[in-house]
Amino acid sequence: MRLFRTADLLADPTPVPEPERFSGVAFSSAIQAGPTGKVTTALIRLDPGVRGHWHRHADGQVIHVVRGTGFVGRRDAEPLPVSAGDTVWIEPGEEHWHGASAEGLAQLAFSFGPITWLEPSL
């Protein structure tokens, strides 16, 4: 068992593992990665206006917004506005992106199965 304090995760200066998959500065605090890679958990922080590329998770994803506001976009739909306290379930294989508003965004991301990265979401 290991305790993670939100304040410590928010202060972690570690950049995301694949910075080229984001339109600007993004940080990632790893919480858990299963030995098989089936589940990963991290606190992802996006600077104001930063968006991730389109991507999909083989077995879905849960996003829980911890701080700030932003959007979760999906193909052929208007982006869903999200703010602190909101939780979003993203279906397996659903192509989507996450992005920060002008305020910035911090989100807990529970990702299931491999991630397939796609084109920029601009």
Residue 10 has pLDDT above 90, yes or no: yes
Q: Which two three-digit tokens encode residue 3?
A: 């305790």
Its pTM stands at: 0.92
Pair of tokens at residue 75: 């193909």
* pLDDT tens sequence across 22-57: 999 999 999 987 666 689 999 999 999 999 999 999
Task: In whole angstroms, give the CA distance from residue 103 to residue 108.
Answer: 17
pLDDT digits (tens, 9 = 90+) for 61-114: 999 999 999 999 999 999 999 999 999 999 999 999 999 999 999 999 999 999
pLDDT value, residue 80: 97
- Residue 88 has a pLDDT of 98
